[in-house]
A and B are shown apart, each in its own frame.
Chain A
Amino acid sequence: MQTPPTEDPHEMDPHLAGAAGSTTAVASQWQLVAWRFGRHKLAVIALYVIVFLYLIGIFAEFLAPYATDTTRAKYTYAPPQGIGLIVHQPDGGWYFGLHSFGYDITVDEAAMRRSFTPNPDKVIPLGFFVHGEPYRFWYMFDTDRHLFGPTDPKDMVYLLGSDRLGRDILSRMIHATRISMSIGLVGVAISLCLGIFLGSISGFYGGRVDTIIQRVIEIVSAMPTIPLWMGLAAAIPLGWPPTRVYFTVIAIVSLLGWTSLAREVRGRFFSLRGEDFVTAARLDGASEMRIIFRHMLPSITSHILAMVTLAVPAMIIAETSLSFLGIGLKPPVVSWGVLLQDAQNLRAISNAPWLLLFPSLAVMLAVLAFNFLGDGLRDAADPYDA
């Protein structure tokens, strides 16, 4: 009722309409979605954050100064080191250079802990595109270049601190980003296929088919998730290679995650089913599968995209909780959940709070970003109403 009049002024004369069309810009549906999405500032920021996180995941080996399993027994529970730009020399002069200070380690025999104090005399020069540990990038080429690290490969630097075995938390978190963020995507992909298939059938046919599918959904969503996950995860043989465990965990998580997607797709189909263009397709002689996949599903793609975005964080959280409980991914695979396992005991938290802090922040950042993005997409999904 409040929409401004947009009627084609040349309605009176159909022959003029062709000429008029060239002056009115014709925006495609996706352009309209993009415009409306652009107005949602928080969602746009969230989109950048997510792209950033996936880039980290993709280039993990290159971005991380060290591998996930590089240990230095000397540096257990080393606190985060600072970065400086100006190096003061003992003779009073100074020069400009990225650096950290090395630690002086004193061992407290009684408390069985090491304490670290930065020593301004031990300057560890840092640099970009430095040589470091060799690795095989994307299973294709061998290199030892890292984006960032100490210029001397023998030096160690812990920007986010180290863990029980003296492993660099920053490197481990970068590698964990790959696993945790991809679990979200792959898991949602599986949920999506199940959800769309069952949801569209349920919504299109209605009646008995719908009743059966809806009861299944209710049963699945009534199950207490954590015990069920635990049961399923317990069935994973210990001897399995990490990648197989990884995919099994994804499958377990997504087998329970499809229900809300299916419900939403069903609801959309219910409302679409009464639309004239669906009847029109039927009267064109289209088969039921053609009506579902060619006429109805494309109408809700933008909604599906929004639903998927909102489903990803649930997957990430699920994986994190499973791994945290020790029944999901297991070392040597690193995910945020696996990292958090190290923060399970109180001593670790009191001595090395960074073990808890940084992986939790990463999870929160990812989940919030996906939620904001999903909200923005959901609002933008229907460009024709406003």
Chain B
Amino acid sequence: MTHDPTPTLSVRNLTVQFALRHGTLSAVNDVSFDLWPGRTLGLVGESGSGKSVTARALMQLVDPPGSITGGQILFGDADIAKMPRRGTEIRRIRGAQIGMIFQEPMSSLSPVHTVGSQIVEVLRLHLKLSREGARARAIELMRLVEIPDPEHNIDRYTFEFSGGMRQRVMIAIALAGDPDVLIADEPTTALDVTTQAEVLDLIKRIQRERGMSMLLITHDMGVVAEIADDVAVMYRGKIVESGPVDQVFHQTTHPYTQKLLASALKLERAADQKKQDLRPPTARVILKVRQLGKTFGAGSNAYGARTTQGVRAVQNVSFDLLEGESLGIVGESGSGKTTLGRLILRVIEPTDGTIEYSPDTGQSVDIRALNKAGLRGIYRQIRFVFQDPFSSLNPRMSVRQIIGEPLQINGIASGQGLVSKVSDLLEMVGLEPAMMERYPHAFSGGQRQRIGIARALALDPRILIADEATSALDVSVRSQILDLLLDLQKRLTLSVIFISHDIGVVRYFCDRVAVMRHGEIVEIGDAQTICTSPTHPYTKALISAVPYPDPRTPRMNQRIRFIEPQTQKAPQ
């Protein structure tokens, strides 16, 4: 690949500001970069760094109250920054010369039009093709993005497609106008890791073949290492470091980039703490799950006879949780891992199996056989940490009320005693006790997750079920939360069931791992063994699809594809 002497698009001193109630906020501040033909620039940053706003600015898509207040976006002879937001000039560029792939393939496609008509619309708009010509071209594009049987699939609706297929349709639409520049805004963030690997492959291949310039926006250092040629690191609206990918990864100069890389690499191996303190060899089983299953929507007719089969979200799941250990449950979306977590506490009522809880004192109980009052007793000993730090905290309650709620309900503390207990808990999770009168929206995602953990710990539980507790967080915050959980687990001898789609997080945190697929556990075993030498072919495919944050050891080339044993569809 050679450097063309002129860049396809160059951004010079771009500034985007949002007029807020109190003054203005510079979301993008004095940003400059070039997109070269045939090369991919990875724009990396954590949430709020301004990377998505930058991408939208390139197409004049920044919505009020935001606006481009300075700088140039030079594309050919034109300056996009000067074009009016709704003018004809920019409309001629959008979709035709610059294509964009959005993060959410679900919401970016219309559910009421067929896939084909959405591609055809772009073709007819920008290339002025005839109806038949556009349809033929659409089929061609769908074949290009590796959608099987395009002649047939062109007339289907988006909701009949999986996430990965939808993203392929988005790519086809972005390519329809035969653009010179492709902007991909977190194109694979909403996808499963195996699907992500395939979509990244595809984007990379198409970009190379067509010699397009690509701007890839992502928060994932692994994705950047796999497919970018150049990297620009954004932090609080500014580009703090940029250069060829190898240079940025191996001769890092800026401390923020170093921190970002360190957090990403940290999750590539088990936590240091894990090496020293192994589980006590005499650990007893605290939770025994046998043949647990859940069938959704099994209908029955008026006489009670079963009419429909229903969806088996979880079936035949058995495992033991030892005292003081952390068990990871890994799987892709739809594998039933979240349902499993909720079945254990009967938030979702199981349809089969037993859940036997054995506290260190007293009888062991079958959670499935308990009544409401008994279940409340279990809720004090098995606590839950939620995925979404935003929706899991009641926005109308102060932090003191949120953390104090379980204490109050269970009659453990009230009044002054409650306040001091809450401040102890806040201190335990690394937050200032003085913050307890604030409301959740005054906290960042990481801080909120700490509040959620404090609430879970308020009742001195024996078991913690963490459902994707770190997946909504930025990578640097993620490792902090994991370290906090490790520390608390050791201090309080907690058993943890850690549900995650992220292999890195599980490898870092867990002693043992269970891999779930289609509602079943396909493999269970020691975390290190599973992550380095898995035996089940699905686990192999899953682990090989995880991008590795080092451009010198790209993993995707040696990827293993797992093919459904039943369908036996030949890979492309």
Contacts A280-B384, A286-B405, A290-B409 given: A11-B435 contact, CB under 8 Å?
Answer: no
Bound Cα distance from A28 to B395, whole angstroms: 10
Bound CA–CA A282/B444 (angstroms): 25
Cβ of B394 and Cβ of A2 under 8 Å apart?
Answer: no
Q: B439 an interface residue at 8 Å Cβ cutoff?
A: yes
Distance in angstroms between the alpha carbons of A28 and B396 in the assembled complex: 9
> Are B394's CB and A21's CB within 8 A?
no
Interface: B359 (CB within 8 A): no
> Chain A residues with Cβ under 8 A from B53's Cβ?
4-5
Interchain CB contact under 8 A, A4 and B442? no
CB pair A35 B21 closer than 8 Å = yes
Encoded as 1 (CB less than 8 Å from any B CB) or 0, chain A from 366 to 386 comes to 000000000000000000100
**Which listed segment binds B: A156-164, A213-221, A227-235, A271-279?**
A271-279
Tell whether, in the assembled complex, residue B21 and residue A283 are in contact, meaning their CB atoms are under 8 Å apart. no
- Inter-chain residue pair count (beta carbon < 8 A): 129
B447 within 8 Å of A (CB atoms): yes
Mark interface residues in A299-316 (1 if CB within 8 Å of B CB, else 0): 100000000000000000
Which residue of the partner chain A has the closest CB to B407? Answer: A284
Residues of B within 8 A of A298 (CB): 394, 396-397
**A285 with B409: in contact, given A11-B446, A11-B474, A35-B21 (CB under 8 Å)?**
yes
A237 contacts chain B at the CB level, 8 A cutoff: no
Chain B window 433-446, contacts with chain A (Cβ cutoff 8 Å), 1 for yes, 0 for no: 01100110111111
**Interface residue count for B (Cβ, 8 Å)?**
62
Decide yes or no whether A207 CB sits under 8 A from chain B. Answer: no
Q: Which of B59-77 contact A (CB under 8 A)?
A: 62-63, 65-66
Given contacts A5-B49, A281-B394, A284-B409, contact A17 B18 (CB under 8 A): no
Query: Counting CB contacts under 8 A, is A91 at the interface?
Result: no
In the complex, B269 has a CB within 8 A of chain A: no
Chain A binder among B159-167, B328-336, B375-383: B375-383
Contacts A5-B27, A5-B49, A11-B474 given; indicate if A17 touches B391 (C-beta within 8 A). no
From A17, A28, A285, contact of B444 by CB (8 A): A17
Q: Is the CB of B47 within 8 A of A7?
A: yes
**B288 contacts A by Cβ under 8 Å:** no
- Tell whether A284 pairs with B395 under 8 Å between CB atoms, given A11-B444, A26-B439, A276-B386: no
A29 to B396, CA, bound (A): 8
Chain A residues contacting B474 (CB-CB under 8 Å) are 11
Q: Determine the main DSSP class of B at the interface with A.
A: loop
- A4 closest partner in B (C-beta): B18
B356-380 contacts to A (CB < 8 Å): 376, 379-380
Q: Which of A14, A15, A26, A283 contacts B438 (CB 8 A)?
A: A26
Q: Which residues of B contact A11 (CB under 8 A)?
A: 46, 444-447, 474, 476-477
Verify if B460 is at the interface (C-beta below 8 Å from A). Answer: no
Q: For residue B187, give the distance in angstroms from its CB to the closest CB of chain A.
A: 15
A282 nearest in chain B by CB position: B347
Please report the C-alpha to C-alpha distance between residue A345 and residue B259 in the assembled complex, in whole angstroms: 85
Interface of A is mostly: helix
Q: Which residues of A contact B25 (CB under 8 A)?
A: 4-5
A284 & B406 in contact (Cβ 8 Å cutoff)? yes
Does A9 sit at the interface, judged by CB under 8 A?
Answer: yes
Enumerate A249-294 residues with CB–CB distance to B below 8 Å. 275-277, 279-287, 290
**Which residues of the other chain, A, contact B445 by a CB distance below 8 angstroms?**
7, 11
Beta-carbon contact of B444 and A7 below 8 Å:
yes
Tell yes or no: B20 within 8 A of A by CB: yes
Q: What is the chain A residue whose CB lies nearest that of B103?
A: A1
Q: With an 8 A cutoff between CB atoms, is B480 at the interface?
A: yes
Asked if A14 and B345 make an inter-chain contact with CB atoms under 8 angstroms apart, the answer reads no
A5 vs B53: C-alpha distance when bound (angstroms): 9
The reply on A350 being an interface residue by CB < 8 A is: no
Distance between B534 CB and nearest chain A CB, rounded to angstroms? 32
Contacts of A25 in B (CB 8 A): 22
Cβ of A35: which chain B residues have Cβ within 8 Å of it? 21
- Interface centre among B62, B392, B476, by most chain A C-beta atoms within 10 angstroms, is B392
Assess whether B27 is in contact with A14, with CB atoms less than 8 Å apart: no
Whether B48 contacts A21 by the Cβ 8 Å rule is: no
Residues of A within 8 A of B383 (CB): 283
Is B400's beta carbon under 8 Å from chain A? no
Q: Which residues, 1 to 35 on A, are CB-close (under 8 Å) to B?
A: 1-2, 4-12, 14-15, 17-18, 21, 24-26, 28-29, 35
Known: A11-B474, A280-B386, A299-B394. Is A26-B27 also a contact (CB below 8 A)? no
Would you list the 3 A-B pairs with minimal beta carbon distance, nearest first?
Answer: A7-B48, A5-B48, A8-B444
Other contacts beyond A5-B47, A8-B443, A14-B447: 16, CB < 8 A = A4-B18, A5-B237, A8-B447, A9-B236, A11-B444, A17-B431, A17-B447, A21-B438, A29-B395, A29-B396, A279-B347, A280-B393, A282-B379, A284-B379, A285-B376, A285-B406
